[in-house]
């Protein structure tokens, strides 16, 4: 399993989950590559393929982005209503 986070592991929950997965035999790589850049994306794919054939890619940051857009919309609409 390859987990991508530009800041790496940041809290105890993340550390515990990775430790649990490793105890269960899961091969875990935490990458800090910034996939905004082609060269770093290529390196990430190479590292993942070195572990095992890549079976899929899940881009979970979209959920955070969607929540951010909704929150921004709420704040923006609220400001215009009070002008």
Summarised one tens digit per residue, pLDDT across range 16-55 is 999 999 999 999 889 999 888 889 989 998 999 999 888 8
Evaluate if pTM is beyond 0.85: no
Dihedral sign (CA 41, 43, 47, 49): positive
Q: How far apart are CA 31 and CA 34, in angstroms?
A: 9
Structure tokens at 3: 């987990």
Burial 14-42 (b: 16+ CB within 10 A, else e): eeeebeeeeeeeeeeeebebebeeeeeee
**Are 48 and 2 within 8 A, CB to CB?**
yes
How do the domains of the chain map onto residue ranges? 2-58
């Amino acid at each position: 399993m390859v987990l991508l986070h530009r800041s790496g592991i940041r809290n105890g929950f993340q550390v515990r989950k990775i430790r649990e997965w490793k105890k269960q035999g899961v091969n875990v790589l935490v990458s800090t590559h910034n996939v905004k850049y082609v060269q770093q994306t290529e390196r990430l794919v190479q590292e993942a393929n070195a572990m095992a054939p890549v079976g899929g890619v899940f881009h979970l940051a979209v959920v955070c982005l969607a929540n951010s857009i909704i929150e921004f919309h709420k704040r923006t609409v609220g400001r215009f209503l009070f002008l």
